[in-house]
Amino acid sequence: MRILDNRTDARAVARLAVRRMEPDPEVDHRVREILERVRAEGDEALTTLTRQYDCRFIDSLGLRVSGKEVEGAYEFVSRSFLTSLRAAGKNIARFHRKQLPKSWELREGGMRLSQRFSPLSRVGIYVPGGKAAYPSTVLMNAVPAGIAGVEEIVMASPPGPDGRLPAEVLVAASESGITEIYRIGGAQAIAALAFGTESIRRVDKITGPGNTYVAAAKRMVFGEVGIDMIAGPTEVVVVADSTARAEFVAADLMAQAEHDELASPICIVPSRAQAEKVSRAVASQLEVTPRRAIARKALDRQGVIIVSGSIRETAAIVNMIAPEHLELMVKNPRSYARRIRNAGSIFLGSWSTEALGDYVAGPNHTLPTSGSARFSSPLGVADFMKFSNVIEVTRPAFRRLAPHVRELARAEGLFAHERSVTIRGDAR
């Protein structure tokens, strides 16, 4: 990992905050073609594209996963996996129940004003797959949707070459209340969820991560349906003072680097000596990780250790980067955290490793990336709900407010607005 000193390399450090997700014209062109094809041809396009990209046997299996296949998945997972999955689901549910928003009402001066929250009716969850299984992604999306009161939770995930979805993913879907499962992936899955086909009804919102094609498709269908966010490569900033153990710091940087080649593992320390200590620990752990090739590319390309001389300076760097994950391995992490405004999830102390947040702690692991923590938040129950404003005005309150409406409507040149008030004022 390269080492930067904020006192002499401030410009290089500042460039770490510029992580734009620039659209790829070729990807956008291909995704647009897929979206229009699915919109026009429906199930026929889905079957053809799935046969082309994922599974040659999709015609015999069908797009929808049967209930029998879901039930059978339990035979292929261990008891220990099921125990851990249920423990994670319990913790995720406990945390997200606290997020449930409450409708409220204000009565004042002849008016009754309120906000009324209601769940979305039908939500689509995209779960990446093909080469790996992500049951944790299922839980992190489906559990808060269920708590919000969503009646129909639909899942789409790319099948393996044999047309099957991983047993762990199917079990997670069953455990978290998903009502429909489709073996489709990529931009075509997003198109099916957004537009609907002969066999798949459109959803109100799409959540869940994916590759560049999925991200581009979600961006393009926004407006037809809601989306959670456009997720970029994963990232972590580990702030470590002299009390932190270098092997802990290195392990958490490695956990981020093994995700993919575009992951950003960043560490901030108070001295050059500690930076070199962490760097050696990373190099040592890199030699024994099974995903060494992926981690090495991430560390070489995006990995960096920053030497920062003060708490104030370090907090400024963190807020500038606005990381998806922030670990504070420092003496007084709670005090330190009060200086942080921009971060998706904040992990306090050396025992609060990010992996706990990824799986079992309870808070959602679907987080803003690429600096978007400056203005957005983790996925939560509110993402699966909406609210309506309700306005009820008595006649006396109308008379009191009408002159103000007339005055403002005239200023804006909206004479029918003014008339809608005047006509009521003249009524007997």
Q: What is the pLDDT of residues 18-52, one digit of tens each?
A: 766 678 899 999 999 999 999 999 999 999 999 99
Residues 156 and 84 reside in one and the same domain: yes
- Both 17 and 146 in one domain: the answer is no
For residue 307, what are the β-bridge partners?
5, 269
Phi and psi angles of residue 111, each rounded to the nearest 5 degrees, phi first: -120, 145
- pLDDT of 104 > 90? The answer is yes
Question: According to the model, what pLDDT value does residue 179 have?
Answer: 87
Q: Are residues 347 and 264 in the same domain?
A: yes
What pLDDT is stored for residue 63 in this prediction? Answer: 95
Among candidate residues 202, 227, 252, the one where a domain is terminated: 227
Q: Indicate if 238 and 141 belong to the same structural domain.
A: no
Residue 286 inside a domain? The answer is yes
Residues 273 and 179 in one domain: no
Task: Residue count of the chain, please give it.
Answer: 428
Q: What is the pLDDT of residue 368?
A: 95
User: pLDDT by residue (tens digit) across 112-164?
Assistant: 999 999 999 999 999 998 667 899 999 999 999 999 999 999 999 999 988 99
Q: Which of 362, 385, 415 is the last residue of a domain?
A: 362
- Tell whether 151 and 222 lie within a shared domain: yes
Provide the total of helices (H) and of strands (E) in the chain, helices listed first: 18, 14
- The whole-number pLDDT of residue 428 equals 62
Chain segment 402-422, per-residue pLDDT in tens: 999 999 999 999 999 999 999
CA-to-CA dists, residue 294 to 28, 191, 230, angstroms: 26, 30, 23
CB 130 within 8 A of CB 185: yes
CATH number at residue 192: 3.40.50.1980
**244 and 126, same structural domain?**
no
Average pLDDT over residues 312-331: 96
Q: How confident is the model at residue 218 (pLDDT cuts 50, 70, 90)?
A: very high
Q: Is there a single domain that holds both residue 87 and residue 134? A: yes
Q: Residue range 331-338: average pLDDT?
A: 95
Q: Tell me, yes or no, whether 41 and 148 share the same domain.
A: yes
pLDDT for res 154:
98
Set 175, 180, 258, 324: catalytic member: 324
Is there a domain that residue 172 lies in? yes
Query: What would the pLDDT profile of 256-277 be if each residue is shown by its tens digit?
Result: 999 989 999 999 999 999 999 9
Question: Is residue 218 located within the same domain as residue 272?
Answer: no
- The predicted-structure confidence for 58-68, as pLDDT tens digits, reads as follows 988 999 999 99
- Residue among 96, 259, 325, 365 flagged as catalytic: 325
The answer to the question of residue 384 being in a domain is: no
The total number of structural domains that make up the chain: 3
DSSP 165-216: PPHHHHHHHHHTT--EEE---HHHHHHHHHH--SSS---SEEE----HHHHH
Domain range for 77 is: 25-227
Q: Residue 232: its pLDDT value, please? A: 86
Whether residue 104 lies inside any domain: the answer is yes
Cβ 135 vs Cβ 169: under 8 Å? yes
Is the pLDDT at 427 greater than 80, yes or no? no
Q: Is 325 a catalytic residue?
A: yes
Strands 104-108 and 345-348: unpaired
Residue 36 token pair? 């229009």
| Beta carbons within 8 Å of 378's beta carbon, 6+ residues apart | 344, 345, 363, 364, 365, 366, 367, 368
Q: How confident is the model at residue 251 (pLDDT cuts 50, 70, 90)?
A: very high
**Shared-domain flag, residues 288 and 207:** no
Q: What is the pLDDT of residue 20?
A: 65
Q: For residue 95, name the pLDDT band (cuts at 50, 70, 90).
A: very high
Q: Are residues 91 and 198 in the same domain?
A: yes
* Residue 64 resides in a domain: yes
Mean of all residue pLDDT scores within the chain: 95
